[in-house]
Amino acid sequence: MKLKSAGFNREFSLIAAIIIMVIVFSIIQPVYLSTGNLLDIMDQSVINGLLALGITYAIITGGIDLSVGSIFAIVIVVVGDLLVRGVDPVIAIVCGIGLGFLLGLFNGLLISKLKLQPFIATLGTMSAYRGVAYIITGGWPVLDIPANFRSIFNSKLFGSIPVSIFVLLAFAVVGHVILKYTKLGTYIYAIGGNEEATILSGVNVNRSKMLAYAISGTGAALAGMVLLARLGSGEPAAGQTYELNAIAAAAIGGASLAGGRGTMIGTLLGAILLSTLKVGLVVVGVDTFWQYIATGAIIVIAAYFEVIQDKVKKINFTKKKIA
């Protein structure tokens, strides 16, 4: 299927880029290649990965979700508060997921029913949701998160792999199945590709958009609970500017901000690539300031790669047309 093969190419190059990075860093600093370190890379990509997977849904519709960092913070303080009040961890997690879903749904409502531009709508909710997070705790952090909640995300499976990595993978798989194997997924791609044509095909575009933003909020909720479990405390200021890293991962993974393109696998690899780089630079001892430059360079290179790929595809296409 052409739609897939185009993405596959991208994903293959991302895997190659990650492997090359790992090799280069390991040559400089052999300890980089240890199992512990590789797990650390995965672990580091969980929070950004969850946010990025969610935001990819918004991006594929041709929109954006700037509010993920604030949804992340609300979920942290609300779930934290519930846990401190003695609510059962499983119920708290369900509440957290539901809350993220609803906050995202509200974004979707503004964008689909009120026809606001996604950038502006979520810029508004980014600020408003942040305010809500502060109000809930009165600006104070939520402390002393019970161990039973923390162990749900932090305990190790198969010896040494933290559960949170499986949360990331599970969200990616579910996200992938929705995109590729449900009506909703096809509609989301269709809306991003050509909203007008999608409306005229009889698709309920508003509902699909609302669900896309709800899924984006859900990713942020999961990310928030992972952080809450890791730190054992949560603060309403958490997650500021996280949306930018999430957008970066999605863009590196091949999601087009113009809409219509993007995959879960691509975004997941984009997030892993970013943390591979980040951990690598730390391990080989590069200054923090230079890490920002390297991250920026990767984003630009990935974007340029897309341009080249499109050109090559065009040439191949005309060749094929003749043959």
Partner 1 sequence: MENQKDNIIHFKNISKVFPGVKALDNVSFSIEKGEVHALLGENGAGKSTLLNILHGVNSEYEGTVEIRGTAVSYKNANEAIKDGISKVHQEVSLIPELTVGQNITLGNEPRKGMFIDYKTLHKEANAILEKMNCNFKSEDLAGTLSTGEMQMIAIAKGLYHNAEVISFDEPSASLTNQEVSTLFSIITELKKNGITILYVSHRLDEVFEICDRATVLRDGKHIDTFKISDINREELIKKMVGRDVSAYAVRNKKLELTDKKVLEVENLSVNGVFEDISFHLKKGEILGFAGLVGAKRTDVVRTIFGVMRKSGGTIKINGHPVEINSPEHAVKMGLGLIPENRKTEGFIKYFDNANNVGLTKMEKFTQYGLLNHKKKTDNCNQYAEEINLRPKDSHYMTVNLSGGNQQKVVIAKWLSSDAEILILDEPTKGVDVGAKAEIYRVLEELLELGKSIIVVSSELPEVLGLSDRIIVMREGRKVKEYINENLTEEDILQYAMGVKQ
Interface residues with partner 1 (CB under 8 A) are: 1-3, 177, 180-183, 185-187, 189-190, 192-194, 196-204, 260-261, 315, 317-319, 321-323
- DSSP alpha helices (H): ranges in the chain? 2-28, 35-60, 68-84, 89-112, 118-137, 147-154, 163-181, 183-193, 195-200, 205-231, 242-252, 264-283, 288-322
CB of 185 to partner 1, least distance (A): 8
Q: Are 240 and 247 in contact (CB under 8 A)?
A: no
Nearer to partner 1, 4 or 156 (CB): 4
Nearest CA to 226 out of 284, 162, 296, 183 is that of 162
Nearer to partner 1, 59 or 190 (CB): 190
Q: For residues 59 and 64, what is the distance between their CA atoms, to the nearest angstrom?
A: 5
CB of 315 to partner 1, least distance (A): 5
Pairing of strands 156-157, 161-162: antiparallel
Nearer to partner 1, 85 or 115 (CB): 115
C-alpha angle 128/130/132, rounded to 5°? 70
CB of 230 to partner 1, least distance (A): 34
CB of 217 to partner 1, least distance (A): 21
Nearer to partner 1, 3 or 147 (CB): 3
CB of 27 to partner 1, least distance (A): 40
Nearer to partner 1, 7 or 69 (CB): 7
Q: For residues 237 and 223, what is the distance between their CA atoms, to the nearest angstrom?
A: 15
Q: Are 172 and 49 in contact (CB under 8 A)?
A: yes
Nearer to partner 1, 3 or 27 (CB): 3
DSSP secondary structure code for residue 33 in this structure: G
Nearer to partner 1, 152 or 203 (CB): 203
CB of 119 to partner 1, least distance (A): 21
CB of 220 to partner 1, least distance (A): 24
37 backbone φψ class: left, alpha, beta (φ>0; ψ -120 to 50): alpha
Joined together, the tokens standing for residue 316 give 């191949």
Joined together, the tokens standing for residue 213 give 């933003």
Q: CB-side exposure of 197: number of CA atoms within 13 Å?
A: 9
Nearer to partner 1, 62 or 270 (CB): 62
Joined together, the tokens standing for residue 87 give 């609510």
CB of 170 to partner 1, least distance (A): 17
